[in-house]
Amino acid sequence: MKFFVDTADVNEIRDLAETGLLDGVTTNPSLVAKSGKDFIPLIREICGIVPGTVSAEVAATDYETMIQEGRYLATLAKNVAVKVPLTPAGLKVCKALSSGGTMVNVTLCFSSAQAILAAKAGATFVSPFVGRLDDIGEDGMGLIKEICEIYRAQNMKTEVLVASVRHPRHVVEGAKLGAQVATVPPAILRQLFAHPLTDKGLAQFVADWQKTGQKILPAEVQPLKTRA
């Protein structure tokens, strides 16, 4: 499974990219507004930090403006995926852009029927919002399961991108069901590392090693921070 981080915070993106585990970034108008930065230079900056896919969303809702925005966004960097809403106009834009070789992320998917249309329109990614479905008492992961089953049965190439992730189990369940991507807020992405037994075990190992008084590295190759 590929991990995208769902943020427009450049510092967070840079920090997570340094782990070597980050495959891409998703942004949206709300995240851009939260960043307080100008959209176009921000996307260029993110694309320079992360070699993987960076989703940049159109702002318009009508076809004529969306297609112009999408074509422009695609020129910002080779790793831009133009993000469009799952509306009739958005799917029309998706078809036009994908036919020309542009990556497209179709967002705000809430049903399997919508996901079928996104794949038919040539979407590179479809983004079902599992957390928002859970919030209204529906089964977000059930939707992921159904879309994955349909895409496999129909040999559809669109990748399922688990979005609106609320907790690590959404990521784990999405991976089990066959979703190719999860886009995760920074805080939840860091939660994937965490387990209290890992912390407890490491603390015990460190304490026991210190009792031995030994060092693995010889003095001449000790890290600079440990030298006097």
Phi, psi (deg, nearest 5) at residue 218: -65, 160
Token digits of residue 71: 């074509």
Phi, psi of 98 (to 5 degrees): -65, -35
200 is catalytic: no
- Token reading at 162: 């688990």
Which pair of structure tokens corresponds to residue 111? Answer: 């049903």
* Distance, CA of 131 to CA of 165 (rounded, Å): 6
Record the tokens describing residue 121, joined without a space: 């329109």
Cα dist from 21 to 86, 124, 183, 205, whole Å: 29, 21, 13, 26
DSSP class of residue 137?
T
User: Could you say which of 34, 37, 78, 83 is catalytic?
Assistant: 83
Residue with tokens 């369940």, as numbered in its chain:
173
CA 37 – CA 48 distance, rounded (Å) = 16
What is the rounded distance in angstroms from the CA atom of residue 80 to the CA atom of residue 89? 20
Backbone φ and ψ of 110, nearest 5°: -130, 5
Residue whose structure tokens are 């991976």: 175
Buried b (16+ CB within 10 A) or exposed e, 194-208: eeeeeeeeeeeeeee
* Residues designated catalytic: 83
